[in-house]
A and B are shown apart, each in its own frame.
Chain A
Amino acid sequence: MNKRITISPSPHVYEDTSVKRLMFDVVIALLPALAISIYFFGMGAIIVTLVAVVSCLAFEWLIQKYILKQEPAITDGSAIVTGILLAFNVPSNLPIGIIIIGSLVAIGIGKMSFGGLGNNPFNPALVGRVFLLISFPVQMTSWPIPGGFKTGYADAVTGATPLGIVKEGLGKGDQISDLMNQVPSHMEMFYGHMGGSMGEIAAAALILGFAYLLIRKVITWHIPVSIILTITIFTGILWYINPETNADPLFHLLTGGVMLGAIFMATDYVTSPMTPKGMWIFGIGIGIITVLIRVFGAYPEGVSFAILIMNSFVPLINTYVKPKRFGEVVNHG
């Protein structure tokens, strides 16, 4: 035979998939939430998202090219996902400079300092977010009141989030029944009509994204469901014990970063466990820590911390929680 033929070991066919495809599926799944965000927060949402995505891409490219001296791989889309998620976790009136600092921390410290995609122990966007929360507490907790394109950007009128209102009220000894009159109805919250971080407001849009991720088999249901279930049960028990000092479970699910965190942040491949059993442990842990922080801690919101804390347990979970091997249990016929 005069032509070259390839010799390589099996398998000889591959699934039509790639890291890039998966990352862009995540981007697609985030679009409904982005649309709602723009609908409620107008220009601010667009500016924050653009700045975060562009600076994440730029930092990744610069670090790979000039510091790590690698072939830049920003086309894999992972920096875009980090950028959008970072934007989703901050208020829509955050000054550009702060967003850029957050992106640098997310990519530079959260991802590249550990060796880049696949090696980082913590979710990069959350590393960026928590850094900003600690460094710029005022800017990070002034939430624009949603008003569509009238909201504006730097000049937006701000107010507290429902979680913040409840936390503060309970601290002063107010009753839940009174506080609930001061926050939007559950239905309004489901569609995202409330103050909060840009991408976390609309549970409806986030759930739509979740459905897309499941259909495209990008993620499995285990982590989101275990987090949501744990929070429901835990806050449900508290609520059952005393409904005047504890908000109802649905309030907890629809406010703050639960949906965004459960669906998009905790499911980050790199920083979550490898087996379904491990994913359950991880999800239950996040749920419990979130409620502990919200109900007993100093911050009104705890999803980000909860995910970062559980991120640090992932290596341990992966070491001790193994899939059930075929033939491990001998069952004689």
Chain B
Amino acid sequence: MLKTFAKGGVHPAECKYSEDSRIEILPLPKTVSIPIAQHIGAPAKAIVAKGDKVKVGDKIAESSGFVSANIHSSVSGTVAKIDDILDSTGYKRPCIVIDVEGDEWNETIDRSPELRREINLTDKEIIAKINLAGIVGLGGATFPSHVKLSIPDGKKINVLIINGVECEPYLTSDHRLMVEKAEEMLVGIQILMKALSVNRALIGIENNKPDAIAHLTNLVKNYPGIEVHALKVQYPQGGEKQLIKALINREVPSGGLPLDVGAVVHNVGTAFAVYEATQKNKPLFERVVTVTGQLVSKPSNLLVRIGTPVSNLIEAAGGLPEDTGKIINGGPMMGKAVNSLEVPVTKGTSGILIMSESESKRKKEATCIRCAKCVSACPQGLEPYLLKKQAQLEKNDTLEQSGVMDCIECGSCSFTCPAGLPLLDYIRLGKSRVSKIIRSRKQ
């Protein structure tokens, strides 16, 4: 029996069209627009000005607090402007726009391809290095990684969990990394283990990636303390709380964090970025992005510099299909639809999914037939039909008691509802109202 989480979950069609496409390097764009807010927390503060010359890897915006992240130039060239530009959130937000000239890297970066296994830094130095390199959670949550590694006094961590689940349909960037950059990733995991002073790390991978599972299982023989676990294909297996439940059978308490149950979770992409930052002195300025969709002629996994417009990626994957109806930043379950091809790739962009006109249509809404399918699908043990009703009636108190803040916005409820009700739309609305109330209560 494969391990999985305790309750709920759905089985969307996997559609991993690009799972066998090797990671290709996307040619440099003419300009990049690098947002100063690509992570959860305070936006970084720009430290360059119009006209400044920058090299690849130069810091261009500085972390502005504990929960914030540095931002580095992904190209060499001249800062053209710092301006508000439409990004994947759908809002215009400040970006540093750089005209690309050549490809000159900051000299401190080690560009050699050799694997560097020996770890010379102390735990404190590792965390500082990760902070410096601007690493954030690359699974899509974009939470600054150094914060996750700084364990508050009184908490004890005994296991590191590495998320290689990639349960979102279509996406394959983590899958390719695990196959092509396995050794680097494993060294990255060892570094994270050292930073946390734990001697056990569990890599969770959904069972639909047998090549990655076999490859890593073979390699971890040389990496004591690291284990590979195949997990049942079931969405949202990669949800942080669900993954912890599946691997070590502990439940993160409602409103709590993984560290409350002695665990820290990092994504495989993050582990790779940690390797590059500590062993190669390379800050986070590029990432692997899957470009895919049923209509896409060449589903691809591309190594992309942060700030590259989405249109360049789509071009490399065979161009924008005639019948495009929707462009999604991320996967189909949790990704965000974007309204322009010029939005830049950010640290959180795991994929670009193109859907046809007919796939883009929402289901026709009928009335709730109280079939309870949403209840059995919810991995958090909530009652989505009820949350929707309470949100519609603006019953904020009961909404909070019903656990609306526990919703992880996985979308399983809307996915499964036979009446085609946009349950999560209403639940999000309710969540934002309730969180406002909670905040005002704290003040």
Q: Which of A5, A6, A10, A276 contacts B424 (CB 8 A)?
A: A10
Q: Which of A6, A11, A116 contacts B325 (CB 8 A)?
A: A6
Rounded to whole angstroms, the CA-CA distance of A88 and B248 in the bound complex is 51
For A10, list chain B residues within 8 Å (CB): 330, 332-337, 409, 411, 424
Chain A contributes a number of interface residues (CB within 8 A of B) equal to 44
Are A6 and B416 interface neighbours, CB within 8 A?
no
Asked if B246 CB lies within 8 Å of chain A CBs, one says no
> Contact flags (1/0) for B343-371 with A, using CB distance below 8 Å?
00000000001010001111100111111
Rounded to whole angstroms, the CA-CA distance of A332 and B424 in the bound complex is 30
For B334, list chain A residues within 8 Å (CB): 10-11
- Chain B residue with Cβ nearest A115: B367
CB of A270 to closest CB in B, whole Å:
5
For B250, list chain A residues within 8 Å (CB): 331-333
> Contact flags (1/0) for A255-297 with B, using CB distance below 8 Å?
0000000000000011001111000000000000000000000
Q: Which of A12, A117, A274, A327 contacts B372 (CB 8 A)?
A: A274
Main secondary structure of the interface of B (DSSP, over half): loop
CB of A187 to closest CB in B, whole Å:
36
Known: A5-B325, A116-B367, A325-B380. A11 touches B414 (CB 8 A): yes
Rounded to whole angstroms, the CA-CA distance of A332 and B428 in the bound complex is 29
Rounded to whole angstroms, the CA-CA distance of A332 and B376 in the bound complex is 26
Among A73, A275, A276, A323, residue most surrounded by chain B Cβ atoms (within 10 Å): A323
Are A333 and B332 interface neighbours, CB within 8 A?
no
> Contact flags (1/0) for A178-219 with B, using CB distance below 8 Å?
000000000000000000000000000000000000000000
Known: A1-B341, A275-B372. A12 touches B241 (CB 8 A): no
Are A5 and B367 interface neighbours, CB within 8 A?
no
Asked if A298 CB lies within 8 Å of chain B CBs, one says no
Are A5 and B369 interface neighbours, CB within 8 A?
no
Taking Cβ atoms with an 8 Å cutoff, the residues of B that contact A are 6-7, 10, 12-13, 90, 158-159, 169, 241, 245, 248, 250-256, 260-263, 320, 324-328, 330, 332-341, 353, 355, 359-363, 366-372, 375-376, 378-383, 385, 403, 406, 409, 411-412, 414-416, 418-420, 422, 424-425, 428
Taking Cβ atoms with an 8 Å cutoff, the residues of A that contact B are 1, 3, 5-15, 17-19, 21-22, 73, 76, 78, 116-119, 220, 269-270, 273-276, 322-333
Q: List 9 A-B contacts (CB under 8 A).
A: A3-B324, A5-B326, A5-B360, A10-B334, A12-B355, A17-B418, A119-B367, A323-B383, A326-B241
